[in-house]
């Protein structure tokens, strides 16, 4: 395993083809001027020590040296050993509602962005727990399987939007059923499902799904985002509001948070409900809940002890450039006698 510390320096490699093109142009220009001056064969006889191969060799050494220097600036790091790390924690599955109603702006900047902020803040306060992410609306979609890589989780989280799930509507039972597939009966690690939603549910099976999840040992905490007063659903293009979501009667839709639905789901698994409009309240509630869940020891294998290798690339790069300084463009005597490159006509 390896990692690259300063990948931005790779852009400097563009100088390699630029120098190559410049070298070829100069060679072309020299040939053109030599033809204007006189016969090429005569010119070769007048400068018998001139080596075309040496010019190419010097360019090759310069390009090779520069390449190694640039790689040295990137600072490759190589992992020297695998470590099995024992950790204690639980598996947390985030189910984020990405239905169109989550675009309502009754909380800033909108319900969906608020939900993603809450998940990100919760992740920031986790220790050694593993996490997974589900997106759902009319159906559920596994965004990220159980992992301990929080940075990857945040990256996938930011890409979530109503477009990633084709079926619109809101079916919380779909999210609970999918989360249940994350549960391995052989794995004794405790599981927690955190549902972030405005509570609008277009199915009647959420409570039944929660009861089934409870049998698998899956505890559910629900976070309600939005207001009881509700708000409209803006339809935007390039960040500009063009219209608002309308129903079949061409009336502007007012979407409201349904806290009771979320409370009922959480109660089914002896979990809890928290108002998601207050970030502090959510973080405090989740922290307290995690403190009261028994942690399970699990193992994870990871590459450890990464060591910088830049010094080898810099040393070799300077060494090659040092050789190039003392490499003359005239023919080497013993090479000339062997005529390896057909530079001598017999």
Ramachandran bin of 342, using left for φ above 0, alpha for ψ from -120 to 50, beta for the remaining angles: left
> What is the pLDDT, as a whole number, of residue 334?
45
Of 124, 131, 125, 133, the closest CA to residue 149 belongs to 131
Q: Measured between alpha carbons, how far is residue 284 from residues 109, 117, 186, 325 in Å?
A: 22, 15, 31, 66
- pTM strictly above 0.75: no
Ramachandran bin of 156, using left for φ above 0, alpha for ψ from -120 to 50, beta for the remaining angles: alpha
Residue 109 is encoded by which pair of tokens?
Answer: 């900047």
Q: Where are the domains of the chain?
A: 2-75+309-338, 84-300
What residues of the chain score a pLDDT lower than 70? Answer: 1-2, 34, 36-53, 79-86, 185, 202, 298-306, 328-346
pLDDT digits (tens, 9 = 90+) for 262-291: 999 999 888 999 999 999 999 999 999 998
pLDDT digits (tens, 9 = 90+) for 112-163: 999 999 999 999 999 888 899 999 988 898 999 988 889 999 999 998 988 8
> What is the pLDDT, as a whole number, of residue 216?
87
**CA quadruple 158, 171, 278, 234: dihedral positive or negative?**
positive
Asked if 49 and 333 count as a contact pair (C-beta separation under 8 A), the reply is no
Residue 245 is encoded by which pair of tokens?
Answer: 């979501």
Considering the domain 84-300, what is its CATH architecture?
3-Layer(aba) Sandwich (3.40)
> What is the pLDDT, as a whole number, of residue 305?
64
CA 172/CA 202 separation, integer angstroms:
8
């Amino acid at each position: 395993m390896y990692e690259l510390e300063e990948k931005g320096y790779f852009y400097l490699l563009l100088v390699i083809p630029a120098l190559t093109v410049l070298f070829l142009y100069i060679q072309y220009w020299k040939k053109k001027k030599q033809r204007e001056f006189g016969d090429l064969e005569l010119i070769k006889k007048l400068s018998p020590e001139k080596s075309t191969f040496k010019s190419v060799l010097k360019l090759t050494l310069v390009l090779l040296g520069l390449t190694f220097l640039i790689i040295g600036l990137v600072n490759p790091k190589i992992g020297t050993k695998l470590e099995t790390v024992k950790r204690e924690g639980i598996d947390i599955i985030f189910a984020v509602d990405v239905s169109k109603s989550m675009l309502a702006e009754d909380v800033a900047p909108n319900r969906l962005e608020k939900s993603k902020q809450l998940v990100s803040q919760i992740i920031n306060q986790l220790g050694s727990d593993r996490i997974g992410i589900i997106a759902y609306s009319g159906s559920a979609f596994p965004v990220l399987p159980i992992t301990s890589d929080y940075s990857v989780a945040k990256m996938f989280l930011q890409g979530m939007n109503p477009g990633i799930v084709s079926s619109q509507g809101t079916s919380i039972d779909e999210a609970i059923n999918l989360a249940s597939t994350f549960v391995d009966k052989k794995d004794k690690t405790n599981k927690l499902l955190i549902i972030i939603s405005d509570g609008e549910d277009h199915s009647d099976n959420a409570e039944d799904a929660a009861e089934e999840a409870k049998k698998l040992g899956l505890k559910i905490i629900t976070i309600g985002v939005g207001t009881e007063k509700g708000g409209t659903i803006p339809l935007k293009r390039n960040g500009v509001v063009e219209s608002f979501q309308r129903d079949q009667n061409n009336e502007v839709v007012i979407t409201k948070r349904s806290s009771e639905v979320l409370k009922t789901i959480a109660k089914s698994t002896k979990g809890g409900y928290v108002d998601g409009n207050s970030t502090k309240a959510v973080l405090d509630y989740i922290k307290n809940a995690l403190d009261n869940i028994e942690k399970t020891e699990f193992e994870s294998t990871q590459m450890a002890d990464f060591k910088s290798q830049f010094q080898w690339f810099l040393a070799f790069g300077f060494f090659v450039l040092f050789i190039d300084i003392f490499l003359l463009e005239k023919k080497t005597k013993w090479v000339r006698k062997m005529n390896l490159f057909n530079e001598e006509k017999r």
